[in-house]
Structure 1
Amino acid sequence: MTNRWRNRIGMLLVSTPFLMLSATGCLAAKPTAAEPGDEIQIEPEAMTALNEMGNYLRTLKSFTVSSEMSMDEVLLSGQKILLTGTTEYSTRLPDRLRVSSKVEGLDRDNEYYYDGKSFTIYSNLDKYYATFEAPDTIGKLLDIAEDRYDVEIPLRDLFYWGTEKDRGEDVQAAYFIDTSRINGTPCKHYAFRQEDVDWQIWIEDDDTPLPLRLVITSKLEIGAPQYISTMTWNVAPQLTDSTFVFTPPEGAHKIEFAVIDDPEEESTQQ
Structure 2
Amino acid sequence: MQRKVLALGLLAVSFASAGTYAQTPPSAGSKPAANAVDPASVQALRDMGSYLQKLKRFSVSTELTGEQVLKDGQKLQHTARAELDVVRPSKLHAWISSARADRQLVFNGKTVTLYTPAQKFYSTVEFAGSIGDLIERLEEKYGVELPLEDLFRWGTPSAPLDKIDSAMNAGQDFIGKDLCDHYAFRQGSIDWQIWIKNGDQPLPRKVAITNRADEARPQSVSVISWNLKPAFEDSIFKFTPPQGAKKIEIVERKAK
| Coarse TM-score class (shorter-chain normalised) | 0.7 to 0.9
Assess, with a 3 A threshold, how the Cα gap between structure 1 residues 222 and 134 changes in structure 2: closer, same or farther.
farther
**Aligned twin of 1:123:** 116
Secondary structure class of the residue paired with 1:53 = helix
Decide whether the 8 Å contact of 2:102 with 2:117 is kept in 1.
yes
**Aligned twin of 2:38:** 43
Partners of 2:41 and 2:184 in 1: CA distance: 8
- Candidates 238, 249, 254, aligned match of 1:256: 249
Assess, with a 3 A threshold, how the Cα gap between structure 1 residues 170 and 12 changes in structure 2: closer, same or farther.
farther
Decide whether the 8 Å contact of 1:177 with 1:191 is kept in 2.
yes
Decide whether the 8 Å contact of 1:66 with 1:87 is kept in 2.
yes
Partners of 1:246 and 1:113 in 2: CA distance: 6
Matched ranges for 1:206-221 at <5 A: 206-221=199-214
Assess, with a 3 A threshold, how the Cα gap between structure 1 residues 82 and 135 changes in structure 2: closer, same or farther.
same
Cα displacement (A) at 1:28: 7.0
Asked whether 1:145 is paired with 2:143, we answer no
Higher helix share: 1
1:170-200 Cα deviation digits (max 9, x unpaired): 2110010011111011111000000031100
Cα displacement (A) at 1:134: 1.1
**Aligned twin of 1:190:** 183
Cα displacement (A) at 1:238: 3.0
User: TM-score scaled to structure 1, two decimals?
Assistant: 0.82
Decide whether the 8 Å contact of 1:115 with 1:241 is kept in 2.
no
Secondary structure class of the residue paired with 2:162 = helix
Decide whether the 8 Å contact of 1:96 with 1:138 is kept in 2.
yes
User: TM-score scaled to structure 2, two decimals?
Assistant: 0.86
Long gaps (5+) in structure 2: 1-8, 17-22
Cα displacement (A) at 1:222: 4.9
Asked whether 1:170 is paired with 2:170, we answer no
Partners of 1:154 and 1:241 in 2: CA distance: 20
Secondary structure class of the residue paired with 1:45 = helix
Partners of 1:170 and 1:252 in 2: CA distance: 45
Partners of 2:123 and 2:189 in 1: CA distance: 33
Assess, with a 3 A threshold, how the Cα gap between structure 1 residues 222 and 126 changes in structure 2: closer, same or farther.
farther
Assess, with a 3 A threshold, how the Cα gap between structure 1 residues 13 and 220 changes in structure 2: closer, same or farther.
farther
**Aligned twin of 1:3:** none
**Aligned twin of 2:4:** none
Partner amino acid, structure 2, of 1:82: Q
Secondary structure class of the residue paired with 2:213 = coil
**Aligned twin of 2:50:** 55
Assess, with a 3 A threshold, how the Cα gap between structure 1 residues 125 and 207 changes in structure 2: closer, same or farther.
same
Assess, with a 3 A threshold, how the Cα gap between structure 1 residues 249 and 72 changes in structure 2: closer, same or farther.
same
Assess, with a 3 A threshold, how the Cα gap between structure 1 residues 251 and 221 changes in structure 2: closer, same or farther.
farther
1:134-188 Cα deviation digits (max 9, x unpaired): 1221111111111111111111111000000112112110010011111011111
Decide whether the 8 Å contact of 2:24 with 2:171 is kept in 1.
no
Partners of 1:123 and 1:100 in 2: CA distance: 10
Partners of 1:130 and 1:237 in 2: CA distance: 27
Decide whether the 8 Å contact of 2:139 with 2:145 is kept in 1.
yes
**Aligned twin of 2:64:** 69
Decide whether the 8 Å contact of 1:74 with 1:222 is kept in 2.
no
Cα displacement (A) at 1:208: 0.3
Partner amino acid, structure 1, of 2:245: A
Indicate the RMSD between aligned Cα atoms, in angstroms.
Answer: 2.4
Partners of 1:83 and 1:27 in 2: CA distance: 28
**Aligned twin of 1:80:** 75
Partners of 1:196 and 1:167 in 2: CA distance: 17
Partners of 1:259 and 1:66 in 2: CA distance: 28
Long gaps (5+) in structure 1: 1-6, 19-25
Asked whether 1:97 is paired with 2:98, we answer no
Asked whether 1:158 is paired with 2:159, we answer no
Partners of 1:48 and 1:206 in 2: CA distance: 15
